[in-house]
Chain A
Amino acid sequence: MSELIKMKDVTKVYPLGETEVQALRGVDIVINKGEFISIIGPSGSGKSTLMHIIGCLDVATAGSYFLQGKDVNKMNENQLADIRKEFIGFVFQDFYLLPDVPAWYNVSLPMIYNRVAPRERKEKAIRILENVGLGDRVNHLPNQLSGGERQRVAIARALANEPEIIIADEPTGNLDSVRGEEILKILSDLYAKGKTIIIVSHETYVAQRGKRKIYLKDGRVEGKG
């Protein structure tokens, strides 16, 4: 398996008023293409920060990060945006859908930035929604959908540009266990189809789904399983 993500001695320091917060204190991680990884840790362990750095939403203060062999630390803002657009799909705990537009439009959003033609955008968005079982909900607004359905729209959006990696940040955090299970099933299916899945969670039943687990504590990798 080829190395997709390679982090070495990554630290992240946030300024907080007069002092600083060390969110990550030297993290070494290697993730291969097609893996299903759970990043687990209590709140404040730095797992969100780690997720942001893996997802190129943020950059490390020190250390090295190579994504598909490319040095992320050397990229400028536009290059990071391109990486997010082409390689990474995010799924957030609070779904973060645009409230005033229908499901299909939410799904098509990443394709706008990828300059996909309008007609193709809509067709593809509907196709992906069908794949996550929302074929009859394409024209619904987010507030007309249940939490589980919203999260499936969010997953569909994450898949829009066919990214290599899906990063899910507490994807079941706002769902009951049945809906949560549905979401995890979809993510498992994506893993089965060859996507690289990274789930960040503090819930063990969620973390259990990962084929490999990375435990974080106080900004350090505590153990791997």
Chain B
Amino acid sequence: MFRGFLIEILRSAIESIKANKLRSLLTTLGIVIGVMTVIGVISVISGFKQYMATSFSQLGANVLYVSKYPWGFGMSREEFKKIQKRDNIGLREAEALEKYGASFKYVSPSIVRNMKVERGDKEVEEVSIEGVSEDFSRIINQDVSLGRFLSKDDIKYKRHVCVLGQDVLESLFPEESPIGKKVKIQGRQFNVIGILEERGEMMGQSMDNTALIPYTTMTAFTGKRSSINIAVFAEEGKETEEEIRWILRGVRDLKPDEEDDFSINSSEALISQFNQMTSTFLMISIAIAAISLVVGGIGIMNIMLVSVSERTREIGVRKAIGAKSSEILGQFLMESVVICLVGGFLGIFLGASLTKLISIMSGNIPFHIPIWSIFLGFGFCCGIGVFFGFYPARKASKLSPVEALRYE
């Protein structure tokens, strides 16, 4: 029959909350805000993390990018200035990597500029034109769906040939086969030799709005002095990175006491940097949420104390008809837990709605609320209900029946 008693005190808790709707609602506000913050932040971060992970997998998990600038977030002004002064990365480095690399097979320069691509009266602005080598297809693990990829000879003879991405294909060749046709890139004629498989998007940007051309041809646009990226397919993560480092230090004549003046980037490192940043962010928001939960808890304690003193007579009656102290304690604890759970429910609901709203406003970032965060939210609410409700409930349970009945 203990279950019956639990149901009864639950019922009495709900009755008492219903009798003081506004008061209960205001009391839960701190809890609502706290839970809402936690749920909101957790779902935004976990959604963003997932999004990042799937996005960067497009880059290829095993691909290392040698660049002048490091990828990532939060560089200071001084750091940036220092990095700006580095010597540019050039084809010399790419050739050295190709020549001396032992643990890796595929190396390709990657020189990227946004340019206009035209065909007759059709044109696409801002296409990402990427100058690469014949190895690039293997590095990004992406084949052609039609025609062929760039060849060694295309590179060697600086041919004006290109492999188009799906987006460019759809815009310029909506109906006919593009192979063998000519397009103009930044005013120069190029032969279309192939179509790249669909690559999807990264960080909300289509990776298919692209055209690949020989890097040797690309330097005609960019000149030989600007800094380039070098993509390397690493078969065994860390060793490759170390090897690249030593080759580059050699090529760039760095003395043993000098720092590296280049950066070896990877999507993995970027993701881990992102995770590190979000976990700091998560910590801060959890701290904020914890503060509002504690404030909320104090509010609960306050209102429960009011409730106990308002219902002193009721407590007296209940004791007179046989309620034990533990049963009075249980009743008031239940009430404070129920108030907290109502707050938790509202908080989860509002947090989820807020997340949905941000998701809609931010375009297509698919936020999701992990199930564990909901349990965490409810668990926290229960904990707060018990912790902050205990003192008032104990006060109620310790009342002497005679004094409680006499209370006016």
CB pair B321 A110 closer than 8 Å: yes
Most buried by A among B7, B16, B321, B402: B321
CB pair B1 A96 closer than 8 Å: no
**Known interface pairs A52-B402, A58-B400. Does A82 touch B4 (Cβ–Cβ under 8 Å)?**
no
CB pair B324 A78 closer than 8 Å: yes
**Known interface pairs A98-B314, A100-B15. Does A84 touch B1 (Cβ–Cβ under 8 Å)?**
no
* Bound-complex Cα distance A85 to B316 (A): 13
Chain B residues with Cβ under 8 A from A115's Cβ? 1-2, 4-5
CB pair A77 B323 closer than 8 Å: no
CB pair A81 B402 closer than 8 Å: no
What is the minimal beta-carbon distance from B307 to any residue of chain A, in angstroms?
13
* CB of B8 within 8 Å of the partner chain: yes
* CB of B317 within 8 Å of the partner chain: yes
Chain B residues with Cβ under 8 A from A81's Cβ? 319, 322-325
What is the minimal beta-carbon distance from B14 to any residue of chain A, in angstroms?
11
Q: Size range of the interface on A?
A: 20 to 34
CB pair A58 B402 closer than 8 Å: yes
What is the minimal beta-carbon distance from A59 to any residue of chain B, in angstroms?
10
Q: What are some 13 contacts across the A-B interface (CB < 8 A)? A: A57-B401, A78-B326, A81-B322, A86-B322, A96-B313, A100-B19, A110-B322, A113-B327, A115-B1, A115-B2, A115-B5, A116-B1, A118-B4
* Bound-complex Cα distance A77 to B399 (A): 12
Chain B residues with Cβ under 8 A from A90's Cβ? 320-321
| 8 closest A-B pairs by CB | A85-B322, A115-B1, A110-B321, A81-B324, A57-B401, A113-B322, A96-B317, A84-B322
* CB of A55 within 8 Å of the partner chain: yes
Q: Size range of the interface on B?
A: 20 to 34
Q: List residues of chain A with CB under 8 Å of any chain B CB.
A: 52, 55, 57-58, 77-78, 81-82, 84-86, 89-90, 92, 96, 98, 100-101, 109-110, 112-118, 157-158, 160-161
What is the minimal beta-carbon distance from A128 to any residue of chain B, in angstroms?
14
* CB of B405 within 8 Å of the partner chain: yes
Chain B residues with Cβ under 8 A from A92's Cβ? 405
Chain B residues with Cβ under 8 A from A89's Cβ? 321
Chain A residues with Cβ under 8 A from B316's Cβ? 96
Task: Tell me the residues in window 3-39 of chain B with beta carbons closer than 8 Å to chain A beta carbons.
Answer: 4-5, 7-8, 15-16, 19
Chain A residues with Cβ under 8 A from B402's Cβ? 52, 57-58
CB pair B5 A112 closer than 8 Å: yes
Least CB separation from A55: chain B residue: B320
* CB of B318 within 8 Å of the partner chain: yes
**Known interface pairs A96-B313, A96-B405, A113-B323. Does A118 touch B318 (Cβ–Cβ under 8 Å)?**
no
CB pair A78 B320 closer than 8 Å: no
What is the minimal beta-carbon distance from A133 to any residue of chain B, in angstroms?
22
* Bound-complex Cα distance A57 to B315 (A): 13
Chain A residues with Cβ under 8 A from B314's Cβ? 98
What is the minimal beta-carbon distance from A48 to any residue of chain B, in angstroms?
9
Least CB separation from B327: chain A residue: A113
What is the minimal beta-carbon distance from A203 to any residue of chain B, in angstroms?
21
What is the minimal beta-carbon distance from A5 to any residue of chain B, in angstroms?
18
Least CB separation from B314: chain A residue: A98
* Bound-complex Cα distance A41 to B178 (A): 114
What is the minimal beta-carbon distance from B336 to any residue of chain A, in angstroms?
18
Chain B residues with Cβ under 8 A from A55's Cβ? 320
Chain A residues with Cβ under 8 A from B4's Cβ? 112, 115, 117-118
Task: Tell me the residues in window 297-332 of chain B with beta carbons closer than 8 Å to chain A beta carbons.
Answer: 313-314, 316-327
Most buried by A among B16, B19, B318, B327: B318
What is the minimal beta-carbon distance from B404 to any residue of chain A, in angstroms?
10
Chain B residues with Cβ under 8 A from A77's Cβ? 324-325
Chain A residues with Cβ under 8 A from B322's Cβ? 81-82, 84-86, 110, 113-114, 161
* Bound-complex Cα distance A110 to B405 (A): 16
* Bound-complex Cα distance A81 to B325 (A): 9
* Bound-complex Cα distance A116 to B326 (A): 18
Task: Tell me the residues in window 259-304 of chain B with beta carbons closer than 8 Å to chain A beta carbons.
Answer: none
